[in-house]
Amino acid sequence: MNIPSGSMRSNRMQLIARFVCLMVLLPGLAAAHGLLLDAKHVGDKIEGTVYYSNGELAVRESVELLDLSTQGATAAAGETDNEGKFSFPVVEGHRYRVSAYAAEGHGVDVEIDAVADARPKLIEKEGAAAEEQSWLPPAWAVIGFLLLASLVPVAISRRRAAAAAAGSNK
């Protein structure tokens, strides 16, 4: 079977282009992650650490503290330090919501009481926002589908080249 060298070169270039795209996208897939938050009551503060689900510290990310025990309270805003840590002054006995947000759109909320040995409680997303996110496929699935779909033109061009080569051999 004789395949024209131009067609072979074109197929090789398409394969190389797909390989390069895959290599560029893989680090992004590996870096895709959620946000986690650990908080505790220490003296007159709520302090904690924010990190990504891959264990990497969430450095310089937004953190807010809302006093749930005070009606009409406004959230105190801050950001994590170079070690992913944060700290806010609190009133003993009050209940607080700590929210952290990452640049990629990830977020996490916990509630914690300002009492000795308090443990944070993860707050699940409710309402329309959670419903909107629930039907979305994960990013890796979308990228994988697009990569597989990009192979369709290659398969079609190979079949055409094989048919053309078979027709020219007759």
Rounded to two decimals, the pTM is 0.57
Q: What's the chain look like in SS3?
A: CCCCHHHHHHHHHHHHHHHHHHHHHHHHHHHCCCEEEEEEEECCEEEEEEEECCCCECCCCEEEEEECCCCCCCCEEEECCCCCEEEEECCCCCEEEEEEECCCCCEEEEEEECCCCCCCEECCCCHHHHHHHHCCCCHHHHHHHHHHHCHHHHHHHHHHHHHHHHHHHC
Q: What is the pLDDT of residues 133-163, one digit of tens each?
A: 556 677 777 788 888 888 888 888 888 888 8
- pLDDT, position 4: 53
**CATH code that applies to domain 35-126:** 2.60.40.10
Q: What is the pLDDT of residues 80-107, one digit of tens each?
A: 999 999 999 999 999 999 999 987 778 9
CA distance 146 to 67: 45
